[in-house]
Chains A and B, each alone.
Chain A
Amino acid sequence: MTLAAAHPGFMSPSGVEIAFALVGIATLGAALITVTTRQLVHAALWLVVALGGLAIEYLLLTAEFIAWVQVLIYVGSVVVLLLFGLMLTKAPIGRSPDADSGNGWVALTVAVAAAATLVWVVVDAFRSTWIDLGGAAQGSTKVTGAVLFRHWVLPFEALSVLLLAALVGAIVLSRRGAPARRAASAALGALSGRGASSGPGAMSERAAGSERAAVSKRKTGES
């Protein structure tokens, strides 16, 4: 990190700083809508906007690699997974009356506390340090890679072990007992447009909404 003794101060912001602030406000707004909207799929789509805004913030901080990984992993995969799950529940178009979990105040408290902690940590760590982004890019792929695999190899590997554990756990959960397996095949059946259950009753139901049937089946399988 480059420390510059005489930093320009906050009173005469440059174009990048203005853009940073504006995108930050937009991201915050999108994030607020994400957690307050009653329309489930809209929440997921606003999450895309929030995550994309974050990626732009990374870009403005010249952390290009992090920005694109953010888009690739979060927008491209996590949100798609989320939408996939939402579609399996046949999320209605319009408001869902039961989208409010009832512990909004608890969530708000936790969120504000977490935000306050993070902001305090960052502010306390850097104070008025001025990091010059004009020079050699601190967030370029080369620098990121070198730092990650030289100084932070141990945490990196520990994280991958954690992910591996999660993966193994998912496999164990999905293989437990026959009902769970039936539910999985039912979900696959919904995907291919065929009723997975082969009873005559399923025939009439599959046109109406095989995905709903699959989800209800999975619920019974889990309980």
Chain B
Amino acid sequence: MSGTLDVVLRLVAVLVAFLVLPLVVGQTEHKVMAHMQGRLGPMYAGGFHGWAQLVADGVKFAQKEDVVPAGADRRVFQLAPAVSLLPYLLVLIAIPVGPNGLVGQAIDAGLFFVLAVMGVGVLGSIMAGWASANKFSLLGGLRTAAQLMAYELPMLLAAGSVAMAAGTISLPGIVQAFHWWWIPWQLIGGLVFFTAGLAELQRPPFDMPVADSEIIFGAYTEYTGLRFALFLLAEYAGIVVLCALTTVLFLGGWHGPLSGSFGWLWTLVKTALLAFVVIWLRVTYPRLREDQLQKLAWTVLIPLGLAQIALTGIVKVVIS
């Protein structure tokens, strides 16, 4: 009975994190982006510095009419937001927060699980792009697919490098094996992983699939109300997942001073810092062009990823 209770408790905790953390990131983005542009951002909702802005947004989205275009493929259109959101919930289950089993569910091949399921999430955007019966949506879907194919490989290479270094592909195992000198050792891999992850999430400066000045809102053009909100939520959940994964793989997860009792806090702090970087990059850089995006993936990130694997291999052989 206590086993069942334990599982239920863990799942509830993951669900709560899944519902709260993306909103926190979204609110932070509102405020940080505003201040980086010399503005104040939301100030009214909820009273104190607009803390409830996203709650208000959610209420607004819930009130909107749920429109399905007449020419759209109805079922695929309606299914797409769920397909794009749910994988991130599943991924959160496998991410270790602290030592001694502070994880939703330890998975033996955790690294592969996480990367595989994250790749599925992009399928939602492609479905949305095709099913909307809108040429801009279709272009967005095409770009999403092209971007996924270009960036999945460097991401896998960088993750593979860490797995080689740790000698395991279980996420808690990787963090367990972490030493501080891994950070310089895996630096290139970390950068490649983070960049490729940003591209896979379609975050600026890699947001060509939704480029609003070119193709309106890409695959999400025809969406309204709650379904649109689910896509937005998926984007922010994706940020949380990507930052948590980078933390776990490249920044040593719960390692840090006083990691015995405050390990989970270290993971959260590192994740939050990375989320800040994601927002910072969005504010700072303009969107790349589609061909620049592909060029960056194939001519820069993949060679760098391969070089990182070679480096990891050499060091691994030397120290063993």
* Contact among B109, B123, B294 with A141 in the assembled complex (CB-CB below 8 Å): B109
Known: A69-B112, A80-B123, A141-B109. A42 touches B290 (CB 8 A): no
* A87 near B138: Cβ-Cβ < 8 Å: yes
Smallest Cβ distance from B219 to chain A, in angstroms? 11
Task: Please indicate the chain A residues that have their CB under 8 angstroms from the CB of B126 in the complex.
Answer: 80, 83-84, 87
Task: Please indicate the chain A residues that have their CB under 8 angstroms from the CB of B107 in the complex.
Answer: 64
* A72 near B119: Cβ-Cβ < 8 Å: yes
Q: Mark B38-76, 1 if CB is under 8 A from A, else 0.
A: 000000000000000000000000000000000111001
Q: Mark B129-141, 1 if CB is under 8 A from A, else 0.
A: 1110101001101
A181 to B215, CA, bound (A): 26
- Total contacts A-B at CB 8 Å: 120
Task: Please indicate the chain B residues that have their CB under 8 angstroms from the CB of A192 in the complex.
Answer: 208, 289-291
CB-contacts of A177-213 with B (<8 A):
188, 190-193, 207, 209, 211
* A193 near B139: Cβ-Cβ < 8 Å: yes
A93 to B222, CA, bound (A): 15
A45 interfacial contact with B, CB 8 Å: yes
B115 interfacial contact with A, CB 8 Å: yes
A76 to B200, CA, bound (A): 12
Interface of chain A: mostly helix, strand, loop or mixed: helix
B214 interfacial contact with A, CB 8 Å: yes
Smallest Cβ distance from B314 to chain A, in angstroms? 19
Task: Please indicate the chain B residues that have their CB under 8 angstroms from the CB of A86 in the complex.
Answer: 130
A77 to B133, CA, bound (A): 23
Task: Please indicate the chain B residues that have their CB under 8 angstroms from the CB of A26 in the complex.
Answer: none
Q: How large is the interface on A (under 10, 10 to 19, 20 to 34, 35 or more residues)?
A: 35 or more
* B215 near A211: Cβ-Cβ < 8 Å: no
* A64 near B117: Cβ-Cβ < 8 Å: no
**Interface hit among B12-20, B142-150, B182-190:** B142-150
Task: Please indicate the chain A residues that have their CB under 8 angstroms from the CB of B138 in the complex.
Answer: 87, 90, 211
Task: Please indicate the chain B residues that have their CB under 8 angstroms from the CB of A94 in the complex.
Answer: 73
Smallest Cβ distance from B183 to chain A, in angstroms? 25
Smallest Cβ distance from B224 to chain A, in angstroms? 19
* Contact among B139, B149, B156 with A80 in the assembled complex (CB-CB below 8 Å): B149
CB-contacts of B250-275 with A (<8 A):
none
B210 interfacial contact with A, CB 8 Å: no
* A193 near B116: Cβ-Cβ < 8 Å: no
What is the chain A residue whose CB lies nearest that of B142? A87
Known: A87-B145, A188-B291, A191-B143. A77 touches B152 (CB 8 A): yes
B175 interfacial contact with A, CB 8 Å: no
* B129 near A65: Cβ-Cβ < 8 Å: no
A32 interfacial contact with B, CB 8 Å: no
| Listed A/B pairs (8) with beta-carbon separation below 8 Å | A68-B116, A76-B119, A80-B119, A83-B126, A84-B149, A191-B290, A192-B289, A211-B142
> A68-B112, A75-B120 provided; 9 other pairs, C-beta below 8 A?
A45-B76, A65-B109, A71-B117, A76-B123, A84-B149, A93-B73, A94-B73, A141-B169, A188-B291
Question: Which 4 interchain pairs have the tightest Cβ spacing?
Answer: A76-B119, A72-B116, A192-B290, A68-B112
Q: Chain A residues in contact with chain B, CB under 8 A?
A: 39, 41-42, 45, 48, 64-65, 67-69, 71-72, 75-77, 79-81, 83-84, 86-88, 90-91, 93-94, 137, 140-141, 188, 190-193, 207, 209, 211
